[in-house]
Amino acid sequence: MKTKIGVVGYGYWGPNLVRNLASHPLCAGLTVCDVDERKRDLVQSRFQAGNVSVTDNYQDILADDEIKGVVVATPISTHFQLAKQAMERGKHVFAEKPLAHEGPLAHELVELAKARDLKLMVGHTFLFSPPVLKTKEILKKGDLGQIHYIDTQRVNLGLHQKDVSVIWDLGPHDLSIILYWLDDVPVEVSARGRDCVVPNIPDVCFMTLKFRSGVIANVTVSWLSPTKLRRTIIVGDKKMLAYDDTENQEKIKVYDKGVNYQDPETFGEYHLSYRSGDVWSPHLDSYEPLYAEMTHFLECIQNGRQPRSDGMIGWQVVRILEAADQSLRNGGNVVKLAWEEYE
């Protein structure tokens, strides 16, 4: 079975999605839409023959009944309208991260997908990357024990975006990863940051999340750093894990390290014993996460599976981004998030 796909947006990221779809055995053909003529010329020069066509008009994709799924890779503020229109025409949607620029709009898309029985998937690419999946496996097996905290750093001398802050640009990666790993949502969010270079566009942010389970997570994102860091530490009461995405080999290391607390036998006399055992680096599969992500979208359309990075996690990420923005505006105060009304 093969499915024809429409892609809207062929800027910086769209070409990566198109490249993976164009030769995909589950993809019947592509129509790529971009309002910029130079981008359309690029598509035509790269895919001269074969099953890739271009258009400057999104309506062409919407009107094509053979197109069953639409991939949205345009600026964030346009995701909602483009995704909504596609679903209203009965098409499954893959929207790049973050799902929308406002929480209620992201939620509306989730509800629309449910009402129309359509797949809504979000481009949280890291949920298809081998180290993130291996870490999920390790967490699921309980190898680390009860999780105390997570600390992530995603910083480099990054491309300053004109329309969004670093929170909305890089934040979705770590937030989606942490939500996926913990299978939990934060009830408190606070954030401090600065607009060091461009006025009113924060380029560094330190976010702290407190989850329902009690786990706390710190997420550092910055476009202003001398070196590229993609580091995560997960500390459990049995073991600890370090994940460094910039490493070529041994991206994940599991440390049999910890500190045990022994109850005081007499008042005030507690004992701590330090454990420093083996370090283990699991084997990781080797494939391009984006290819796996596109395969997953096509399979979800064809087999009716629920996407791993579905609209729900996409909406949760947007809510957290909004809460971080709110906290940032108010000097880092704690913003509480209630989820019960949506359950």
Rule CB under 6 A: which residues touch ligand NAD? 8-14, 33-36, 39, 58, 73-76, 78, 96-97, 123, 125
**Residue number with CB closer to ligand NAD (12 or 261):** 12
Contact call for residues 237 and 119 (beta carbons, < 8 A): no
Work out how close the CB of 59 gets to ligand NAD at its nearest, in angstroms, rounded to a whole number.
10
Q: How far is the CB of 158 from ligand NAD (least distance, A)?
A: 11
Min separation Cβ 20 and ligand NAD, Å: 12
Q: Pick the closer one to ligand NAD by CB: 99 or 207.
A: 99
Query: Which residue, 138 or 177, is less far from ligand NAD as judged by CB?
Result: 177
Q: Which of 260, 272, 252, 285 is nearest to 145 (CA)?
A: 260
Q: How far is the CB of 166 from ligand NAD (least distance, A)?
A: 12
The residue nearest ligand NAD at its CB is: 11
Q: Which is nearer to ligand NAD, 92 or 239 (CB)?
A: 92
For residue 138, give every residue at least 6 positions away whose Cβ sits within 8 Å of its Cβ, in sequence order, or none.
144, 241, 252, 254, 282
Contacts of 281 (CB under 8 A, 6+ apart): 249, 250, 252, 253, 254
SS3 311: helix
Burial of 307 (0-12, 13-18, 19+ CB in 10 A): buried
11 vs 214, beta carbon nearer ligand NAD: 11
Q: How far is the CB of 161 from ligand NAD (least distance, A)?
A: 7
Q: How far is the CB of 13 from ligand NAD (least distance, A)?
A: 3
Q: DSSP assignment, residue 310?
A: B
Residue with tokens 């094509």: 64
Q: Smallest distance from the beta carbon of 89 to ligand NAD, in angstroms? A: 15
Find the helix or strand (DSSP H, E) in which 274 lies.
strand 271-280
Q: Which tokens is 186 given?
A: 């934060």
CA separation for the pair 215, 14 (Å, rounded): 36
Nearest CA to 224 among 161, 150, 152, 151?
161
Closer residue to ligand NAD, CB minimum distance, 14 or 236 = 14
CB of 57 to ligand NAD, least distance (A): 8
Which helix (H) or strand (E) segment is 83 a member of?
Answer: helix 76-88
Burial bucket for residue 319 (CB in 10 Å: 0-12, 13-18, 19+):
buried
| Closer to ligand NAD by Cβ: residue 34 or 203 | 34
First vs last C-alpha separation in the chain? 35
Report the residue number, 127 or 138, with the smaller CB distance to ligand NAD: 127
